[in-house]
Structure 1
Amino acid sequence: MTVAKNTICLWFDKGAEEAARFYAETFPDSAITSVHTAPTDYPSGKAGDVLTVSFTVAGIPCLGLNGGPIFQHSEAFSFQIATEDQDETDRYWDAIVGNGGEESACGWCKDKWGISWQITPRTLTEALSAGGDEAKRAFSAMMTMRKIDVATIDAARRG
């Protein structure tokens, strides 16, 4: 087994394997690569409990660690998923929110394990990168949204 030079480690209370399975089923280029159990008891678990899960999310190598409840996730870390159209935006948003997650503002949502996601249509990123009035109009439109509405962003880009 080859280990990536850099891997994102996500601390979970006990849900690392369930989360990794959900991500693998939801996003392309995602998979679980290994599951390891604890060789002995540890502060938040017992020998034989799932301790770590190696997985990828949209091609990004990750390690899920079932470390117990001491550390919580925050919006300071998020996955940003670029989408091509409204259908793809809806599919990912609805999967996350509909599986026990919660909506936030401006294309952000949180899954049931507390991991934050930005479901970001490429048209929004392109508008913001364009700068000037196009960026201002798209940004103003985005600020009124929870899930990004591609048609509204496209209309704002055109003025």
Structure 2
Amino acid sequence: MHPLTTFLWFNTEAEEAANFYVSIFKDAEIKKVTRTPEGIPGLEGGAVLTVEFTLNGTHFVTLNGNTQYKSTPSVSFVVNCDTQEEVDHYWDNLLEGGQSMACGWLTDKYSISWQITPTILPKLISDPNQKKANAAMQAMMKMIKLDIPSLQKAYDEA
């Protein structure tokens, strides 16, 4: 049993979404697919009900519910990236079929929100030197996909 599991609600895309996420993250694996039993009113027997998977050691479950609930950007997943190559990888792949937002946020094709964040960003914007911190923050506020060299340059030049 995992101490905390992220549960994502889909209409019919639970397996498709789980496979999509697992294809993007390097340390990822489908653990279990549960199918609906035969004879339950309103459910097609044998259809995918849930998919359990891990992304970088975090346990997730996708559920084929119905259209009752929708995802919103008020809940998002942060992908911490050490390099620009990682930022580009996660940004480009998760954005496929989705929509970019400001400051490193995107919504994927399943309406799940992600923040693709360089690990250096919190260090830059929380620097005790307010001039440097503000320069990094201002640079970030102008970006869609975050660019580590540009953030670092703004910080260094302040």
TM over 0.5: yes
1:87 equivalent in structure 2: 85
The aligned amino acid for 1:125 is P
Note the C-alpha offset of 1:135: 2.0
Note the C-alpha offset of 1:134: 2.3
Which of 120, 126, 130 is the aligned partner of 2:127?
A: 130
Which of 93, 99, 107 is the aligned partner of 1:102?
A: 99
The question of 1:150 aligning with 2:148 is answered yes
The question of 1:118 aligning with 2:115 is answered yes
2:58 equivalent in structure 1: 60
| Separation in structure 2 between the aligned mates of residue 17 and residue 148 of structure 1, nearest angstrom | 30
| Separation in structure 1 between the aligned mates of residue 58 and residue 131 of structure 2, nearest angstrom | 34
The runs of 4+ residues in structure 1 deviating greater than 3 Å are 40-43
| Alpha-carbon displacement from aligned partner over 1:6-57 (angstroms, at most 9, x marks no partner) | 21111111111111111111112221100001114454x4121100010112
Matched-pair identity in %: 39
| Separation in structure 2 between the aligned mates of residue 97 and residue 6 of structure 1, nearest angstrom | 26
Bigger radius of gyration among the two: 2
The aligned amino acid for 2:104 is G
Note the C-alpha offset of 1:4: 1.1
2:139 equivalent in structure 1: 141
3-state SS, counterpart of residue 116 of structure 2: strand
3-state SS, counterpart of residue 79 of structure 1: strand
| Separation in structure 1 between the aligned mates of residue 93 and residue 24 of structure 2, nearest angstrom | 7
| Alpha-carbon displacement from aligned partner over 1:102-131 (angstroms, at most 9, x marks no partner) | 111100011100100000011212212324
Task: Give the stretch that moved more between structures: 127-136 or 146-155.
Answer: 127-136
The aligned amino acid for 2:15 is E
Aligned residue pairs, count: 155
| Separation in structure 2 between the aligned mates of residue 92 and residue 32 of structure 1, nearest angstrom | 19
2:70 equivalent in structure 1: 72
The aligned amino acid for 2:88 is D
| Separation in structure 2 between the aligned mates of residue 141 and residue 130 of structure 1, nearest angstrom | 15
1:36 equivalent in structure 2: 34
Structure 1 unaligned segments of length 5 or more: list them: none
Q: Is the 8 A contact 1:123 1:153 kept in 2?
A: no
| Separation in structure 2 between the aligned mates of residue 33 and residue 134 of structure 1, nearest angstrom | 45
3-state SS, counterpart of residue 17 of structure 2: helix
1:7 equivalent in structure 2: 5
| Separation in structure 2 between the aligned mates of residue 110 and residue 42 of structure 1, nearest angstrom | 34
